[in-house]
Amino acid sequence: MSVQETIQGKLQAALAPSHLEVINESHMHSVPANSETHFKLVIVAQDFASLRKVARQQRVYQLLADELAGPVHALAMHTYSPDEWALRAGAVPASPDCLGGSKKEQGAK
């Protein structure tokens, strides 16, 4: 099972989201081809309605502790209650360009 599939399964099982996107953005970073190190998560769950943003992210970090201790280097998280998601009309912020690692060093030359 891929890292992406593992993440998706854990989030589905624990949060029963009404909307879930697990997007592998590793190709946008200075990593080998076919890496699974950088992910963007879009999660809409009723459980988030009673939680502040930090508590939502802490919950996701708990669920994905094994992946974060191993293959996953970075997570971009967008967590919403169903009402918040409806107000956004499904719009999610775009991920910024990678400026770390060798890309940062190349730009500094």
Per-residue pLDDT tens digits for 5-60: 999 999 999 999 999 999 988 766 666 666 777 789 999 999 999 999 999 999 99
Q: In the sheet where 19-24 sits, what is the strand order?
A: 19-24, 38-44, 74-80
Amino acid at 104: K
The CATH number of residue 74's host domain is 3.30.300.90
> What is the extent of the structural domain holding 78?
3-108
106: pLDDT strictly greater than 60 = no
- The number of folded domains in the chain is 1
Counted residue by residue, the chain has a size of 109
84: pLDDT strictly greater than 60 = yes
For the entire predicted model, the pTM comes to 0.83
Q: Are 18 and 82 in contact (CB under 8 A)?
A: yes
**DSSP H helices in the chain:** 3-15, 53-63, 65-69, 82-88, 101-108
